[in-house]
Homo-oligomer: A and B are copies of this chain.
Amino acid sequence: MMRLVKGNSFISLKDYSRGDILSVMQGISTYDDQNLKRFIPNKKKLIANLFYEPSTRTSSSFYAAATYLGYEVLSINNVQYSSVAKGESLEDTIRTLASYVHCIILRHSEEGAAFLASLVSDVPIINAGDGIGEHPTQTLLDLYTIYKEFNRLDRLTVTLMGDLKYGRTIHSLVQVLNMFDVHINLIGPDNLMLPSQYYKKEYIESTVLTENVAMSTDVLYITRVQKERGAVGNYAFTEKDSKNLSDKCIVMHPLPRNEELGDWFDSDPRGRYFEQMSNGLAVRKYLLGEILG
């Protein structure tokens, strides 16, 4: 429904097929080939970065992507302190902004907000995260980081570790990985396991990262365990875990991180969590470039 087409909104990966995903991966890599920070001056568009909840990382990445593509950006952050929030419907705000700009990047706390916005907007909406809904550009940058490393999304073993219950990042990633020939291992506290609706295949579940699982892992994806939800210390990635991983395994994390991934690992060549950030820039350049053309 909401495929990537010039002039369309980009709301969700839900209806994407394997082929769609792979073609998106190819597309991102064409943007990633170039110097990521090169300017393509054109100034033919003004883009609103409308963030109802703060996410400096995501808004900065979109801002940079748009700027390098030569677009201008109208940043509306901290909406919760502004008049937009006062008794105005999202629809009215979107309609108003759409009369000023050529595209709206929307971050909102409520699931479905981006889709709702796309229904009333005269200009494309790009979903930058809608609460417990989706954060599709995060999913794309995770996928692209894997694709960039292995040049494929099939025949891989991905181990997800940490809070698998509440993490939107994990849920979205699992849904796409399930479309590919990927073995998934789940490592986390019993009370923070993956909700059953995301189970599509046989997964190996464990409360610890065993040597066997570690050795067979191509991608170790670690996520934050928030203290109020479970014991952190037990689910931190350790030096012993690091030794059990193969040389070709990569370690990912959506950031920000807590104690589950210490900075002692930062100099390890297998870490990809900072590369994920620059891959995010490539993803967002690709999306804006394709949609705004």
Q: Does A263 contact B (CB under 8 A)?
A: yes
Please provide the chain A residues from 73 to 114 with a CB less than 8 Å away from any CB of chain B in the complex: 74-79, 81-84, 86-89, 91-93, 95-97, 99-102
Complex Cα spacing A92 to B37, Å: 20
Residue on B nearest A63 in the bound complex, by CB: B74
How many chain A residues touch the partner (CB < 8 A)?
52
Can you name 10 A-B residue pairings with CB atoms under 8 Å?
A37-B100, A41-B43, A46-B67, A48-B60, A56-B79, A64-B74, A67-B72, A86-B256, A96-B277, A100-B277
A109 to chain B, nearest CB (A): 13
For A87, the chain B residues whose CB sits under 8 A away are 256, 258
A54 near B41: Cβ-Cβ < 8 Å: no
Q: Does A17 contact B (CB under 8 A)?
A: no
Complex Cα spacing A37 to B103, Å: 12
Beyond A37-B100, A54-B82, A81-B81, 6 additional pairs, beta carbon < 8 A: A46-B67, A60-B97, A63-B74, A78-B82, A99-B278, A99-B281
For A95, the chain B residues whose CB sits under 8 A away are 274, 277
Complex Cα spacing A102 to B35, Å: 12
Q: Does A246 contact B (CB under 8 A)?
A: no
Q: Does A257 contact B (CB under 8 A)?
A: yes
B54 near A81: Cβ-Cβ < 8 Å: yes
B67 near A74: Cβ-Cβ < 8 Å: yes
A74 near B100: Cβ-Cβ < 8 Å: no
Q: Does A55 contact B (CB under 8 A)?
A: yes
Q: Does A61 contact B (CB under 8 A)?
A: yes
Q: Does A57 contact B (CB under 8 A)?
A: yes
Q: Does A39 contact B (CB under 8 A)?
A: yes
Q: Does A147 contact B (CB under 8 A)?
A: no
Complex Cα spacing A187 to B140, Å: 54
Q: Does A44 contact B (CB under 8 A)?
A: yes
Q: Does A150 contact B (CB under 8 A)?
A: no
A81 near B78: Cβ-Cβ < 8 Å: yes
For A60, the chain B residues whose CB sits under 8 A away are 48, 74, 76, 96-97, 100
Complex Cα spacing A84 to B61, Å: 13
For A77, the chain B residues whose CB sits under 8 A away are 78, 82
Give the residue among A41, A83, A86, A89 with the most B Cβ atoms within 10 A: A83
For A99, the chain B residues whose CB sits under 8 A away are 274, 277-278, 281
Given contacts A91-B263, A92-B255, contact A56 B39 (CB under 8 A): no
